[in-house]
Amino acid sequence: MDSNGIPEKQGLEGDGDLQFLMKGGDLLKVRSGSWKKTRYYKLQEDCKTMWHESKKTLKSKQTFSVEDIDEVRTGRQTESLRKYTEESVEGRAFSILFKGRQKGLDLIASSEEEAKKWVGGLEKVISNIKNLTPQKKTEHWIYSCLRKADKNFDNKISQKETKSFLRDINIEVSEDYAEMLFQKCDKSKCGFLEGKEIEHFYEILTQREEIDVIYEEYAKTDGLMSAADLLNFLLNEQKEDVSQNDALQLIEKYELDENAKAKQQMTKDGFLMYLHQPEGLISNLAHKRVYQDMNQPLNHYFISSSHNTYLLEDQLKGPSSTEAYIKALLKGCRCVELDCWDGSDGEPVIYHGYTLTSKVLFKDVIKAIQENAFKTSEYPLILSLENHCSVEQQKIIAQHLISILGSALITKPLGDQMPTCLPSPEELKGRFILKGKRLDKLEDMFSESKTADEESVTEEEDDEGDEEDQEKKSSSLKLAKELSDIVIYCKSVHFHGFEDSQDKQSFYEMASFKEGKAAKLAEESANDYIRHNIDKLSRIYPAGLRTDSSNYNPVPLWNAGCQIVALNFQTACPEMDLNRGLFLQNGQSGYNLKPSYLRDRDTKFDPITLPDGPWLKNKTLHVMVITAQQLPKVSERKSSIVDPVVKVQVYGVPADTTMVETQYIENNGFNPMWNENFQFDVRVPDLALVRFSIEDYDSSSNNEFIGQYTLPFNSLKNGYHHVPLLNKNGDHLSSAGLFVHIMVVDAE
């Protein structure tokens, strides 16, 4: 922090790329073939905000936060740049892509060297912001609000500006309290705060009373925590299986005061730092990496799956885009949908048939998939093909898949003999599996019999994705042998009942179920459905009436052992929060091993009736909701301060599903305190998810969503922990968090 209480430039002082960004320059903004205009861009002094204006008029000044950037992509790597620019600008082009649904920027610099400076500078600033400690993030945020409150830019804050500032940081206080706070900091009695007085003001605001109480309880060594004191805390409160050496490592890693570190002690600041780090967060750190057995057959896993992956918005008129695939893949999705139709010029296209959604070339989608498939997870990607194409264009589809995906595409079974079960995620690392129709049986690949070059296959309801438009489809589809031959482990078949499947369905054959039918089976024939899913894959998809791309509750389908529960990834909703929460574990690989009783052919498990069995582990979950920090405003109105209420929900088998909520705190989104205790009885913890959500309470209408975090019950850690908060799109809310105490014990 400098002498005026303004945060330093995040350790980038003197960096050439940063100085280039702060000086700014002209970039050509591309929107279409005819709309290409020069705009002036520069990084503002706070190193967090990009400012840009039109060349013709200085009136249209706009800003965006660097924290809202999802990715800076070099070259002509977006649909717009490939479509509207020449190959000659490849080295000068780059794109800024944003989180959520905010439209990206396609830009061209005047030279390749300048493009590298823009990209390099932005990546450094993004990286620095990501790597800021939680305390530094708070500091930066508070000081940017202080700067905003300083109306006359004199680096001094008047009493009136103090009140305005407090509203900006989401807290409403009485005139008396604001005056008391101001007088306490105004040591010079000159009617405004500056320099050290602003720092004192900051310290009062960011004091964490609840942390002070915990720290003082255990800091028994000259007012500080020794390694033995910290170990005492880790054993007694956090219930961790650790040694004094682990405590010493935490001091070495997170203590900020070098003198204390030299004495192997932890200050209050170091303790708070630790509580904000992965070791202090609510989710089990060991579950952040792949920790499950990945050598079981594919059908023994829940698989993160997307429906109509190509859509960015609704199902009727929204845009289709390769970006939608990239976003889903980067979120760990392991099954994407390809809705293929005949296109012009002999090139198949992907879009939602019989609607006004835009079209995207099949080959462009496959290229985008090939480039991004294994960035988040190295485990296999299933390409769920919904085929509406003529035989000729089906051959083109097969050609594109083989030429673009190359040897990574599974085109024959692993090994030299006919397999008896599906391979494992481990065996299929880095591979693509095509799901679709096949003319013959897989066994025929190992026999002398020949298949015709093309043949009709009947298209029946529930065979393949979105069959709500049955009346619009022909009753049969000619299938090209070239496409049929590369469907190996996921052959689409119709479901005729559990007995029929048991007798006739091979392990590599799988059915798709509309959500309503699947939910009925999961409720009325849960054990039969579970047994069906023990050696066969099932895919569930949303009903056709969900034209707004809304989602269904996936939990009952997971309880019934369904693996591919496909959701609309483009839609921000509680159902996607649950999907994100389930697949948060196991290294975000997109594959979660099902509990043993969902893999046992003789299982008696039924999530509805809950008979006795190894699944009944009967736990009691105690949750104390203590405080929240720096919640964002949900309304743009300056005077609008949130009234936060916390909801804690358990999702799982019906007997475990429940919700509680705190009282709401009036006019305080900055540091609300609840100290409320709740208790949950959880019978089947293996299938339970816990969702913490914060809403802005409204007595006259629905509460407004602020943030949430969902995680598997078995990933909860005991003790005092911060809960990170995600926005609707699943992006982290910088600085915001919830502080809770968790205790899981065996039920009596």
* Residue 253 annotated as binding site: no
DSSP 3-state of 403:
helix
Ligand-binding annotation for 337, yes or no, is yes
- Residue 36 is assigned to a ligand binding site: yes
Lowest mean per-residue pLDDT among 3-12, 560-569, 639-648: 3-12
- DSSP 3-state of 28: strand
Tell me the C-alpha to C-alpha distance, in Å, between residue 740 and each of 170, 529, 551, 724: 21, 38, 30, 11
Q: Please give the Cα distance from 318 to 641 (Å, whole number).
A: 34
> What percent of the chain stands above pLDDT 90?
69
702 assigned binding-site residue: no
State the DSSP string of 661-728: E-PPPTTBSSS-EEEEEEEEEES-GGG-EEEEEEEE--SSSPPEEEEEEEEEGGGB-SEEEEEEEE-T
Active-site residue (options: 307, 388, 532, 721): 307
Residue at 128: amino acid letter:
N
Residue 40 annotated as binding site: yes
| Distance from C-alpha of 146 to C-alpha of 7, rounded to nearest angstrom | 11
Question: pLDDT per residue over 646-671, tens digit each?
Answer: 999 999 999 999 999 999 999 999 89
Q: What is the pLDDT of residue 475?
A: 53
Task: Give the whole-angstrom CA distance, residue 653 versus residue 358.
Answer: 40
Neighbours of 553 (CB within 10 A): 15
Buried residues in 375-409 as b, exposed as e (16+ CB within 10 A): ebbbbbbbbbbbbbbebebbbbbbebbeebbeeeb
Which residue would you say has higher pLDDT here, 523 or 46? 523
Q: How far apart are CA 530 and CA 605, in angstroms?
A: 8
696 labelled ligand-binding: yes
**Are the C-beta atoms of residues 542 and 455 closer than 8 Å to each other?**
no
- 697 annotated ligand binder: yes
352 is catalytic: yes
Domain with CATH 3.20.20.190 in the chain: 298-441+476-598
**364 assigned ligand-binding residue:** no
Cα–Cα distance measured from residue 4 to residue 673, given in angstroms and rounded to the nearest whole number: 31
Question: When comparing pLDDT for 133 and 583, which is higher?
Answer: 583
**DSSP secondary structure letter of residue 283:** B
Using left for φ > 0, alpha for ψ between -120 and 50, and beta otherwise, residue 308 falls in left
The Cβ-side half-sphere exposure at 411, using a 13 Å CA radius, reads: 13
| SS3 call for 46 | coil
Q: Evaluate whether the domain defined by 298-441+476-598 bears CATH number 3.20.20.190.
A: yes
pLDDT in the model for residue 56: 54
Each residue of 722-745: pLDDT tens digit?
Answer: 999 999 999 999 889 999 999 999
Q: End-to-end CA distance of the chain, in Å?
A: 53
Quickly state the pLDDT bin for 49 (edges 50, 70, 90): confident
268 is in an annotated binding site: no
CATH code 2.30.29.30 region(s) in the chain: 16-131
Q: Within 13 Å of residue 152, how many CA atoms lie on the same side as its CB? A: 7
Choices 3.40.50.11750, 1.10.10.10, 3.30.1330.10, 1.10.238.10: CATH for 209-280: 1.10.238.10
CATH superfamily of 135-206: EF-hand (1.10.238.10)
Report the alpha-carbon distance of residue 468 to residue 470 in Å, rounded: 6
Is 48 annotated to bind a ligand? Reply is yes
Please identify which residue in the block is written with the tokens 């059908």.
Answer: 299
pLDDT band of residue 196 (cuts 50, 70, 90) is confident
* CATH topology assigned to domain 16-131: PH-domain like (2.30.29)
Instruction: Give the residue with greater pLDDT, 109 vs 352.
Output: 109
The yes-or-no verdict on residue 557 having pLDDT over 50 is yes
Is 261 annotated to bind ligand?
no
Please tell me whether 367 is known to bind a ligand. Answer: no
Question: Whole-number mean pLDDT of the chain?
Answer: 90
Q: Which two tokens stand for residue 457?
A: 């296959």
Report the pLDDT averaged over residues 364-384.
97
Mean pLDDT is lowest, of 291-305, 398-412, 436-450, 566-580, for 436-450
CATH of 619-746, one of 3.30.420.40, 3.40.640.10, 2.60.40.150, 2.60.40.10: 2.60.40.150
Residue 564: in which H helix or E strand, if any? strand 564-567
Is residue 575 predicted with pLDDT exceeding 70? yes
Residue range 435-482, pLDDT digits in tens: 999 999 999 988 866 656 666 665 544 444 444 444 344 457 789 999
Q: What's the whole-number mean pLDDT along residues 385-412?
A: 97
Q: In this predicted structure, which of 148-157, 362-371, 500-509, 525-534 has the lowest mean pLDDT?
A: 148-157
For residue 163, list its beta bridge partners: none
The Cα–Cα gap between 465 and 458 comes to: 15
- Candidates 273, 142, 67; CA nearest to 731 is 67
pLDDT of res. 453? 66
Q: What is the pLDDT of residue 244?
A: 96
Residue 167 has a pLDDT of 80
What local confidence, expressed as pLDDT, does residue 691 receive?
A: 98
Task: Give yes or no for a contact between 231 and 243, defined as CB atoms under 8 angstroms apart.
Answer: yes
Residue 257 known to bind ligand: no
Say if residue 29 carries a ligand binding annotation. yes
Q: Is 331 annotated as a binding residue?
A: no
| 457 burial level (CB within 10 Å; 0-12, 13-18, 19+) | middle
DSSP letter for 297, please. -
Residue type, 568: N
Confirm whether residue 718 is marked as ligand binding: no
Average pLDDT, stretch 424-432?
98
Helices (H), 477-606: 481-484, 498-504, 515-524, 526-535, 555-559, 574-582
pLDDT of residue 67: 87
pLDDT single digits (tens) 16-32:
888 899 999 999 999 99
Question: Strands 704-712, 689-696: parallel, antiparallel or unpaired by DSSP?
Answer: antiparallel
From-to residues of CATH 1.10.238.10 in the chain: 135-206, 209-280
CATH 2.60.40.150 boundaries in the chain: 619-746
pLDDT of 473 reads 44
Is 307 an active-site residue?
yes
pLDDT over 90 at 6, yes or no:
no
pLDDT at 59 over 70: no
Residue 430 — pLDDT band, cuts 50, 70, 90? Answer: very high
Q: Is 33 annotated as a binding residue?
A: yes
- Residue tagged active-site, from 140, 276, 300, 352: 352
**DSSP3 helix / strand / coil % (the chain, rounded to 5):** 35, 25, 40
What pLDDT score was predicted for residue 452?
63
Which amino acid appears at position 452 of this protein? Answer: A
pLDDT recorded at residue 172: 75
Query: Is 60 exceeded by the pLDDT of residue 345?
Result: yes
Q: Among 529, 580, 531, which residue's Cα sits nearest to residue 551?
A: 580
- Residue 1 marked in a binding site: no
pLDDT above 50: residue 48? yes
Contact predicate 399/114, CB 8 Å? no
pLDDT beyond 60 at 224: yes
In this structure, are residues 231 and 217 in contact, taking their beta carbons and an 8 Å threshold? no
Distance CA 28, CA 35 (A): 10
State yes or no: pLDDT of 496 exceeds 80: yes
Which pLDDT tens digit goes with each residue over 669-705? 989 999 999 999 999 999 999 999 999 999 888 999 9
Q: What angle do CA 126, 129, 130 make, to 5 degrees?
A: 85
Phi (first) and psi of residue 634, to 5 degrees: -100, -10
